[in-house]
Structure 1
Amino acid sequence: MSQYQAPLNDMRFATFDVLGVDTCFARLGFTDATRDVLDAVLEEGARFTETVLAPLNAVGDRAGCTLDKATGRVTTPPGFREAYAQFVEGGWSGLTAPPEFGGQGLPHAAGIALKEMIDAANLAWGNFPLLSHGATEALLHHGEDWQRDVFLKPLVEGRWTGTMCLTEPHAGTDLGLLRTRAEPQADGSYSVTGTKIFITAGDHDMTENIVHLVLARLPDAPAGSKGISLFVVPRQRVARDGALGEPNGVRCGSLEHKMGIHGSATCVMNFDGAQGWLVGQPNKGLAAMFTMMNTARLAVGLQGLGLSDRAYQNALRYARERLQMRSASGAKHPDKAADPIIVHPDVRRMLLTCKALIEGGRAMGYHAALLVDIAHAAPNAQEREQADALLGFMTPIVKACLTEWGVECTYHALQCFGGHGYIAEHGVEQLARDARITTLYEGTTGIQALDLLGRKVLQQRGAGLKAMLGMIDALCSEQGDGGAASEFVDALREKTAQWQQLTQRIAERAASNADEVGAASYDYLMFSGYVTLAYWWARSVVASEASSRPAAFKAAKRETARFYFERILPRTLAHAAAMESGAETLTALEADAFDA
């Protein structure tokens, strides 16, 4: 069975040394978010995830969720419900929620390490409270006063959980095709009817109520995505005064049988005249839902990071213990029958790849969470606007790259185990199966790529890209003359210049052929992710050298950074070549000729 120990040392390094979040929080007015408080969150979060959640990971995978078809109710795996009760009792559900609704009021970034720990310890369990935060944000920003009063307190307290109901059997990403209807009622509510699929935590036995945020059409709605409204539809009816009523017309029709995350209830939800309440303005539901969706996309990126770290921990432990052959350069442990496999260069390649992607990705992902706080609470409008632009730019990169790297790292870990990785005993194959979904839900990698290039760069004229390039340029200027990261400056400058040139050339080609955007988008996203990660590795070296950490820690950061720049950053060459090849290499072959 795979083991998990929260990487508190590197979490603290990313949080305090690289990002300086405690200083930033003080500047933003979060006076309660002191270093002592943040340290306590890390310590207690590690204890809860290591001792309560991690032991249930294999249990959830084996047992899965079960559905009582007669009642439409879902039962979670053994121990999941009790773990959730401890989660609520510990106050974790309201860690970053507003105090006026029962939360602790800590900034968003204060909870990001806890999120990573939960995902690493037990991803399937973590999916049950996952969307409650997004539902809270959507209702907080778009709901009426009475909706905030009635729904937010039980969501924040963890007595209720939330879901996001978008996808329908015939309509995935193209939400303009959805058919779920909402008919107005005399009491101001709406009767919602339709079927939604792939609904995470759509039903379970952990809470007394579940709050579904549902996209549906009003009778007079225009066609397409401009005719979508958002409704809050609880499993148990809720009156405007907060009183719970009879069961609503909401029912789980079936559970999906999945490749991984077996302990997570992925539901087909049937709404049959269910009572719902309009959230926000009619036909403006998609904008309101994106408040929830963007929060979820960052959260899923952290899932990829968490799974990567757990897989890496287990592969590293195994590589230090497993004896196989001798080192080609001579026995490293002559007192043993063979050397541990960590002496072999190819095993080191896989382990270093994981270490580089995880530790650099941690700084990148945590920074995106900090941008949420800066965009909301910075003292001046210009800083808030720039943070929001950079956050919009980074969201698809964090979501797509951290999850794609999650697949890569879990498979590297499995490979380190050899045949033992392919069997269930060590638990690494579960991590590899679980990681695969993270690249799919909350928008596939392809959708993130189109969002980044088509929307955030071309349509919005690259405001976020300019902010990122400005950060890189500032670091290069600071470090260029004998700074701690001076050895990485030339490579960073070369890649940022290439980044700008590629962006310009794609924009020029797209002006005459719209397919150029889709043809370049995946490679553009990955190129962007690798260059951004190079920046965070350079910053990590600077932060480590300026810290009081042991010499061995500093040396490990620098050597890993060198490995990243020499072995992983060159992947950008292939992505650049693919982008330069243009759309014709993808569009020339006729659809009917694929099987010719």
Structure 2
Amino acid sequence: MKVFKSPIKDIQFVTQQVFDIDAHYKTIPQGAEATPEMVAAISQECAKFSENVLFPLNQSGDAEGCSFKDGQVTTPAGFKEAYQQWVDNGWQGLSHPEEYGGQGLPLSLGVIKSEIVGTANWSFGMYPGLSLGAMNTLIEHGTEEQKRGYLSKLVEGSWTGTMCLTESNCGSDLGQMKSKAVPSDDGSYRITGSKIFISSGEHDLAENIVHIVLARIEGETAGTKGISLFIVPKILPNDDLSLGEANQVSCGSIEHKMGINGSATCTMNFDGSKGFLLGEKNKGVNAMFTFMNTARIGTAIQGIGAAELAFQNSLAYAKERRSMRTLGGPVEPQQAADSIIHHPDVRRMLLKQKAIAGAGRAMLYDAAMIADKMMAATDDKEREAVDSELGFITPILKGFFTEMGIEAANEGMQVFGGHGYIKEWGMEQISRDVRIATLYEGTTGIQGLDLLGRKVILDKFKQYGAVNKRILNLYKRSLASPHRWQMMKFIGPLMGYQLRWQRMLLSILLAARKDRDAVGAATHDFLMFSGYLMSAYYWALMALTAFEKLAQKKSDSADLGDDFYQSKIQTAEFYYARMLPRAKSHSEIVRAKLSSLTAMAEKDFCLE
């Protein structure tokens, strides 16, 4: 039996007890209405919608998939009705300004919504999820007229949004882009080109789709510096925002994919489509990063959600499935065999899933609270500082936790044994759905290059130093705590791995002085080591919080129970004992000679 229960207690623990989000909300304008009661009510309602409406459509949507005929896309049965409920209940505009029809609540509260929805049904969540990126880009770069028009409809949910950047001839290398924009006399542009892999590019859920499109204005310089960003609606709106004429935007096909079959992935053709400049000319790539950063955090949720969903179903199965006796002797002698949850190797897989989901969730909400500060910034200097802080976390969050989400999903199949390979149990779908997460919005290699190249070296180690300081502060806080002796098993190893992280970076920099390819060769392992280290930081922080809660009087209404806190400490112990040591292999690989990668000539990559 497939199961999904919104992880409300885990979210509450991380947001309220580890990070004290209630105090955080008092420091930002958007948090004025986000009282604990309001947050609890929204979380519970989102849980009901996700558990009762979206999760039942997850497997059926995968089996049916989207269909394509004569340029039209039909989503799986039930999606359209579910989306209308989404719109009617006001979910789309939860964290967007009231002046454009939203509810004006913090972005981090929207992340809670996105985690619950994405875990229940990732394919469905992509339709409104892509709109969030379009909305954030309009808020950041749009004119007031554009906001009053397009943004109000996107916030309402009656229109949806996309981002269109990838072309068949270029993926992450946007400088090769061929789509062009020709100026018109009325100030608009005519956009011509084809974009591929466009999620939610065409569907039957909303009356209009607003495409955010990268293109080069005719005559502008080659490379990324000559690219601009445009708003290209599927149907041109009239002045009163009623729908006018079609805009020469068409869907040429949809992809037949490994997973997320309920989400339409489209080839979009722009044939002289009318578009409107969004932001400044020739700064489209910079503006698009507003969308990209939203999407990267959203993609990280897919990895975390896959780990959570795989864990919940693996746990339920492991409690019921009986096979053999444990080597230590019968645990349930009254039964024909012991439940497989008693076998150490099954526990290893379950605890790995739990540890991945827990660390990812902590990092996710840490990032979300930083993003709250960016939205509340009052000047460019403050905004840039917060954006830099968030920018360091984002590639780790996206790159590491999508890789770990795949591993957690695969372990889920392993817990089920042969049943995990059978569609009816739902485990193989989780593995197929999450596999894309390491690819879109920049592959893991791209995230590693972004982290090491841009966020560490080009940033001149400012944010890298800030993260090191955070780890040191946790060490000091733990030593000053009444629980310092209990925390030594965490903070001692954590400091050791931090020193290894520093030596690892130094060795990369020294090697790069002789050959710059040393940076490219180290990016994957530096990213993965950073992910393991940051996970250790968050698990130590959660363990300290759990120790503090266990020591408090139980009159606290927010108390989650001794068993809950003990499970956090025990999961942290598992992570430090059986997952964190993996990081050592990544630091050793970075020290390997570059020639082990570069020595072989192209002709020697033989197929014969």
TM-score w.r.t. length of structure 2: 0.95
Question: Residues 455-490 of structure 1, C-alpha deviation per residue, up to 9 Å, x if partnerless?
Answer: 100111122211211111001011135525232111
Report the Cα offset of residue 280 of structure 1: 1.2
Q: What is the aligned counterpart of 2:534 among 532, 535, 540?
A: 532
Report the Cα offset of residue 584 of structure 1: 2.0
Distance 2:41 2:577 in 1: 38
Report the Cα offset of residue 41 of structure 1: 1.3
SS at 1:176 equivalent: helix
Distance 2:442 2:37 in 1: 37
- 1:517 maps to 519
8 Å contact kept, 2:307–2:354 = no
The alignment yields a C-alpha RMSD, in angstroms, of: 1.5
8 Å contact kept, 2:360–2:401 = yes
Distance 1:514 1:222 in 2: 27
- 1:573 maps to 584
Taking a change above 3 Å as real, the CA distance of residues 571 and 382 of structure 1, as seen in their structure-2 partners, is: farther
Question: Residues 277-336 of structure 1, C-alpha deviation per residue, up to 9 Å, x if partnerless?
Answer: 011111110000001101110011011111111111000000000000001101000010
- 1:16 maps to 16
Taking a change above 3 Å as real, the CA distance of residues 379 and 18 of structure 1, as seen in their structure-2 partners, is: farther
Report the Cα offset of residue 338 of structure 1: 0.2
8 Å contact kept, 2:525–2:586 = yes
Distance 1:524 1:307 in 2: 24
Superposed counterparts of 1:18-97, under 5 Å: 18-29=18-29, 30-69=31-70, 72-97=71-96
Q: Which moved more, 1:358-367 or 1:428-437?
A: 358-367
2:604 is the counterpart of 1:593: yes
SS at 1:267 equivalent: strand
- 1:552 maps to 563
Superposed counterparts of 1:31-430, under 5 Å: 31-69=32-70, 72-239=71-238, 242-377=241-376, 386-430=385-429
Distance 1:137 1:400 in 2: 22
Report the Cα offset of residue 508 of structure 1: 2.4
Q: Which moved more, 1:380-389 or 1:38-47?
A: 380-389
Distance 2:165 2:312 in 1: 36
- 1:502 maps to 504
Superposed counterparts of 1:446-465, under 5 Å: 446-465=445-464
Taking a change above 3 Å as real, the CA distance of residues 511 and 53 of structure 1, as seen in their structure-2 partners, is: same
8 Å contact kept, 1:95–1:104 = yes
Which amino acid in the other structure matches residue 520 of structure 1? A
Which amino acid in the other structure matches residue 548 of structure 2? A
Report the Cα offset of residue 514 of structure 1: 1.3
Which amino acid in the other structure matches residue 486 of structure 1? M
Question: Residues 216-239 of structure 1, C-alpha deviation per residue, up to 9 Å, x if partnerless?
Answer: 011111011111110100000135
8 Å contact kept, 1:541–1:557 = yes
- 1:561 maps to 572
Which amino acid in the other structure matches residue 539 of structure 1? L
Segments of structure 2 that go 5 or more residues without pairing to the other structure are 550-558
Distance 2:604 2:452 in 1: 29
Question: Residues 126-163 of structure 1, C-alpha deviation per residue, up to 9 Å, x if partnerless?
Answer: 11111111111111111122111110000001010000
Question: Residues 371-420 of structure 1, C-alpha deviation per residue, up to 9 Å, x if partnerless?
Answer: 10123326899876553322110000001111111100000000000000
Distance 1:240 1:356 in 2: 52
Taking a change above 3 Å as real, the CA distance of residues 182 and 384 of structure 1, as seen in their structure-2 partners, is: closer
8 Å contact kept, 2:9–2:560 = no
8 Å contact kept, 1:94–1:104 = yes
- 2:555 maps to none
Report the Cα offset of residue 594 of structure 1: 1.6
2:499 is the counterpart of 1:488: no
8 Å contact kept, 1:75–1:205 = yes
8 Å contact kept, 1:391–1:464 = no
Report the Cα offset of residue 352 of structure 1: 0.7
SS at 2:262 equivalent: coil
- 1:432 maps to 431
Taking a change above 3 Å as real, the CA distance of residues 239 and 109 of structure 1, as seen in their structure-2 partners, is: same
Distance 1:118 1:574 in 2: 36
SS at 1:27 equivalent: coil
Report the Cα offset of residue 240 of structure 1: 5.8
Segments of structure 1 that go 5 or more residues without pairing to the other structure are none
Distance 1:380 1:491 in 2: 40
8 Å contact kept, 1:374–1:383 = no
Which amino acid in the other structure matches residue 4 of structure 1? F
8 Å contact kept, 2:229–2:283 = yes
Distance 1:491 1:381 in 2: 39
SS at 1:188 equivalent: coil
Distance 2:212 2:219 in 1: 21
Distance 2:275 2:592 in 1: 50
Distance 1:311 1:371 in 2: 28
- 2:3 maps to 3
Distance 2:545 2:380 in 1: 28
8 Å contact kept, 1:510–1:516 = yes
Which amino acid in the other structure matches residue 92 of structure 2? S
Report the Cα offset of residue 100 of structure 1: 0.8
Distance 1:164 1:385 in 2: 23
Percent identity for Structure 1 against Structure 2: 48
SS at 1:211 equivalent: strand
SS at 1:192 equivalent: strand
- 2:552 maps to none
Which amino acid in the other structure matches residue 589 of structure 2? A
SS at 1:93 equivalent: coil
TM-score w.r.t. length of structure 1: 0.97
Distance 2:39 2:591 in 1: 46
Distance 2:536 2:164 in 1: 37
8 Å contact kept, 2:194–2:269 = yes
Distance 2:168 2:242 in 1: 33
Q: Which moved more, 1:196-205 or 1:302-311?
A: 302-311
Which amino acid in the other structure matches residue 541 of structure 2? R
Distance 2:377 2:21 in 1: 13
